[in-house]
Structure 1
């Protein structure tokens, strides 16, 4: 856990998609200290006219290299840690030719009772998995 959704504009090679997913995961492992095998990602490509991402009034333009990342994770991380996640992801994506203006990241938090990893069971709530940060 976390669950990560990566949305991008269609047209990248499979190895590029994997590199983006790997870079995102590497940033989360480094910053959030999650285990390497704690990896749940969904990578979705969209036609260019199905993605609208302006600049929220910040004065920059995005390109077709845009990567939008949604991170679903348990509550409890500080603002400073979240900002570190944002920076680390941007830094990991830069060597892949993705500029900072094309990195959009959002973090959604919820509780340990909101997760089931299989078999219809809430493993954190049942004590089958340790709750991160506790």
Structure 2
């Protein structure tokens, strides 16, 4: 954990998607200081007519490369979140050619009892994952 869900316009190749996911993982590792194998990523691809991402009146230009990332996570401090936003756009621009203006992020926080990694157990609560769950 965290769980990163990516929404984007369909049409990227498998190689492009892997590059995007790897770049996002690097940003997440650096910002949130989680173990390398804390990697949970899901991609949802949408037809262009079913994916509208405007700019909330901020005059932010969007292209067909727009990516919306929803991060579901245990609570994070403001500094870690802001570092993630910055590192994510840097990694995506450098690795994928995605402009920072094409990256939108939403954080959704929850708590230890909201996670089960399998086997019908809440591993943060049972002690199978340490007090900070690798976060």
Structure 2-normalised TM-score? 0.94
SS of the residue corresponding to residue 26 of structure 2 reads: helix
Equivalence for 1:120: 120
1:89 and 2:88 equivalent? yes
Equivalence for 1:107: 107
Q: Residues of 2 paired with 1:28 and 1:54: CA distance?
A: 25
Structure 1-normalised TM-score? 0.95
Pairing 1:25-64 to 2, within 5 Å after superposition: 25-64=25-64
Unaligned runs of 5+ in 1: none
Number of aligned pairs?
133
SS of the residue corresponding to residue 38 of structure 2 reads: coil
1:12 and 2:12 equivalent? yes
Moved segments of 4+, more than 6 Å: none
Shift of 1:131: 3.2
